[in-house]
Amino acid sequence: MRARLAGRTDVGLVRERNEDGFIVVPEHRFAAVADGMGGHMSGDVASALAIDALREFYQKTVGPDRTWPFPYDASVSEEENCLVVGVRLANHQVFDRARSCALDAGMGTTIVAVMFTRDARRVVVGHVGDSRCYRIRDGAIAQLTSDHSLVSEVTEIAPWLSAEELQSLPTNVITRALGMAPEVAMDRRTLDTELGDKYLLCSDGLSGMVSDEQILEIAGADTPIESICARLVERANEAGGTDNTTVVLAVVEATPDEEGPTVTG
């Protein structure tokens, strides 16, 4: 099997700047979406720094006989090591810039990323913040990440709260993001894949404007993934487009290559 990826980002209908960013690295079966923290200075700078750090890491570090900037953890897979180290580097870039430049003080960014094994039979999902990863399988959609947001975490620790009480909480408070501290804790999980799976990474410009059911209707269609990405962004704009919207879609498909999968995107 192999994983094929595509992505799209759009400023939306209200914002003047696009504070989102994404990266697809086909040769390493890797992709990520970053969302600069809304309401903070230089959110676009933060997301761009994070994406650039990941791009440089995969270009210059990942592969045989390369020198890693942090110790390699032999107890976990290569893909897990890549996600942990890449996000750690991205966090350092954002934190150092925010600390050294007064104009960028307080900036931050979310990140959600996936990396598939060479045979695409497993995928590692990592995230910090409220950008999400969904899986579409057998006509159903499942959210694979838990938002690092005030609303989500209060819901977890106080499930008895009423809908009215939850609605009174501010919806834009992120409890974890790149750039907030010298080190960052990334949630990650490794999952078995199945032929036909689709993995959707998105900023909250999509998840905040389009319901899971609508996402499933669009992303579950048997159409090219590039067209699906375009339609998801279009649907978010149809719903108001009040935020930037970024999506990356990966599909697990069959390949005749017995030596291992390739990724195109």
Predicted pLDDT of residue 263: 52
pLDDT band per the 50, 70, 90 thresholds, residue 255:
confident
Predicted pLDDT of residue 248: 98
Count of CB atoms situated within 10 Å of the CB of 255: 15
Q: Identify the residue whose tokens are 């504070």.
A: 19
Q: Identify the residue whose tokens are 């040769």.
A: 27
Distance (Å, whole) CA 229 – CA 248: 7
Distance (Å, whole) CA 27 – CA 30: 8
Distance (Å, whole) CA 223 – CA 228: 7
pLDDT band per the 50, 70, 90 thresholds, residue 100:
confident
Q: Give the domain 2-253 fold.
A: Phosphatase 2c; domain 1 (3.60.40)
The whole model's pTM is what? 0.89
pLDDT band per the 50, 70, 90 thresholds, residue 167:
low
Q: What is the pLDDT of residues 106-145, one digit of tens each?
A: 899 999 999 999 999 999 999 999 999 999 999 999 999 9
Distance (Å, whole) CA 183 – CA 34: 17
Q: What is the pLDDT of residues 19-34, one digit of tens each?
A: 999 999 999 999 999 9
Q: What is the DSSP string of 141-192?
A: EEE-S---BHHHHHHHH-TT--HHHHHTS-TT-BS--BTSSSS-PPEEEEEE
Predicted pLDDT of residue 64: 74
Which has the higher per-residue pLDDT, 58 or 103? 58
pLDDT exceeds 80 at position 164: no
Q: 104 and 173 in contact (C-beta within 8 Å)?
A: no
Report the mean per-residue pLDDT for the chain.
Answer: 88
Predicted pLDDT of residue 169: 46
In the beta sheet, which residues pair with residue 63? none
Distance (Å, whole) CA 116 – CA 104: 34
Average pLDDT over residues 146-152: 69
Q: What residues contact 226, with CB distance under 8 A and at least 6 apart?
A: 6, 8
Which has the higher per-residue pLDDT, 111 or 259? 111
Rounded CA Rg of the chain? 18
Distance (Å, whole) CA 217 – CA 55: 32
3-state secondary structure of 22: strand
Q: For residue 52, what are the CA distances in angstroms to 22, 33, 43, 67, 180?
A: 10, 12, 14, 19, 18
